[in-house]
Amino acid sequence: MSAQNIKKANVDREFSVSSSVRMKEAAEKYRVAMSDEKSRDQLIEDYLPLVKSTVSRMRFHFPDHYDIEDMYGIAVKALIVSVNQFNPSKGKSFGNYAALRIKGSLLDELRKIDCLPRANRAKARSLQSTISEMESRLKRPVSVEEVKTELKLSQSEYETLLKETQPITFIPIDGPVHSSSPDGDSTPLSETISDPTEQDALDKT
């Protein structure tokens, strides 16, 4: 064996021993942390920055309307589960294990809320693109009537489109639109769209 290969083998052996020592130290630190409730709580607190960084990285994958506090709640719960279920004897670091659990829990939540059929998703992209193009062209927010005219849709067809594309399409329904009412007052978009849940409630009474 050449001198270079011997040197490399020694370095690899030293690295392996060093990694093994660090892993044992980490496992011992975890066992100590789990020995009493106060230490356990401190371990959770020590890894809260991991929760924050993971939520920050994944925030843009979630719909705008999704409350970031709910994301933090899911992530913290996953961290607590990680603390309770981590097995240091398997040779993984707690940090990596917790990171995977936190990310996995957020992905599971994203799958639950992201359940639109592909056709509806395409409609949502088309609607968003149309609204963005109109606002860019007109240099102002557009009204419901303008969007319906652009898409050549009736009021009922437009409402159906909005229902089909939720929660992907997010329009500020409480923002003012350009009303065609005689007094010229702006009307919230929410007031121009009927609420299907109200009719459902009436039908059940």
The predicted pLDDT at position 193 comes to 35
Which residues lie closer than 8 Å to 116 by C-beta, 6 or more apart?
124, 165, 167, 168
> Tokens 């990285």 appear where?
57
The predicted pLDDT at position 1 comes to 56
Burial 130-149 (b: 16+ CB within 10 A, else e): ebeebeeeeeebbbbebbbe
> What global pTM score does this model have?
0.46
The predicted pLDDT at position 5 comes to 54
| Numbers of helices and strands, H then E, in the chain | 10, 2
Closest CA to 194 of 164, 160, 171: 160
What domains can you pick out in the chain, each with its CATH number? 3-113 (1.10.1740.10), 118-204 (no CATH)
